Structure 1
């Protein structure tokens, strides 16, 4: 699987801070995944090499595909953290074994390729049985929030609205073909920031819901996502 460099989904569209908000990651974590970082090792320095190749490096900008890659990696941020060296090794192993380019974008993550990747990763980090179960469940939930097209490329991402959101809930979407790739209420295609701005301007939830043919809950979820992001 190789993404088209001219595909809108592969073009720079999001700054680091914006992307980090959308996928619910600390900016420093996402930056490390994108450009790596140096760290002390004894009296010398070592380097964490990046896990994701950003759409544009200077200035640092992410594509929609980069958002999906970060979203998938986020599933591995359990209590044990993300072991970058081992994670990179596991990704490379699964890509070689299944001849997949950019595994983190691949629909095959939901099948055998994803199993091979996770098996290799947990072997490298020596994760407990309970830790493995929690991580695999989180990974499965994250993958369920990515929609792929017939060519097995991601076309839509359904980010988490809040920490208490149930896995089946997908009210908010990020679609590079709608609203310049900014978050929308997926049922109506309305920008979440537009809804939040109208509420901040003094309009009522009921009035906004009526204008956009949304439920009160959808308006509230749009505001929650926008202000928590």
Structure 2
């Protein structure tokens, strides 16, 4: 499977934008992209990058990288799996799936989650309750991703505060085939920034909804999403 010349693996997202969309500190995301050293009792150790950008010399992330970071955030922040163990588990998954990007494959949603958790368990001896929690969290997280006919992640629905149940309410998405992968209103393809620019200019929510043939709830979602990104 080729990853080098498709829209899903084209550099498109500055690190700062990706970090805001995913609610990840910029410093953390950079460490996943570049790797870093850390002190141990045996001296300085280093871990390899967790995310492989299309071009290491190019600072921007691809859509594929964005989805990978979305999954890694839960693995690291919620389940506290150490980075070197995550790297080893990802290498194992890459061999099993024959791809450098196992976290964005449809197979990861099915048998991949179990394979990943089993591998982590071998590396860090995860408790039975910890295994269950990780499986459930990852499977829930993957409801925010849609795959194309080739089984590759093609659309991502970011989580934001307005949405009470992220598994059900998918109001905004990012899709490399629509508006160059920028956040848009689901079902309309209108960039959230375009909506907010009219609100900032003084238009009412109802007027903007009429302008873009959206529901007022969608306009409010765009406002909330952009406000959350500005505050990040």
TM-score (norm 1): 0.91
Judged with a 3 Å threshold, the aligned counterparts in structure 2 of structure 1 residues 3 and 227 are, in CA distance, closer, same or farther, namely farther
From the two aligned structures, give the one with the greater strand fraction. 1
1:104 positional shift: 1.2
Corresponding residue of 2:182: 182
The residue aligned with 2:85 is 86
CA RMSD of aligned residues (A): 1.9
> Residues 147 and 80 of structure 1: is their aligned pair in 2 closer, same or farther, counting only changes over 3 Å?
closer
When structure 1 is superposed on structure 2, of 49-58 and 171-180 the one drifting more is 49-58
Partner of 1:215: 215
Deviates more, 1:127-136 or 1:17-26: 127-136
Following superposition, the deviation at residue 135 of structure 1 comes to 2.4
TM-score (norm 2): 0.90
Tell me how many residue pairs correspond in the alignment: 228
Q: CA deviation at 1:126?
A: 3.0
Give the Cα–Cα distance (whole angstroms) in 2 for the partners of residues 85 and 42 of structure 1. Answer: 16
Q: Given the superposition, is the C-alpha separation of residues 87 and 104 from structure 1 closer, same or farther in structure 2, using an over 3 Å criterion?
A: same
Q: Per-residue CA shift, 1:152-190, capped at 9, x if unaligned?
A: 122111111227531211111101111121100011100
> Do the aligned partners of 2:11 and 2:58 also contact (CA within 8 Å) in 1?
no
Question: Is there any run of 5+ residues in structure 1 with no aligned partner, and where?
Answer: none
The secondary structure found in structure 1 opposite 2:53 is coil
Deviation at 1:208, TM superposition (A): 0.8
Q: For 1:44-96, what per-residue CA distance to the aligned partner results, in whole angstroms no more than 9, with x for missing partners?
A: 32112111111233341111111111112123134442411111111222332
- 2:224 maps to 224
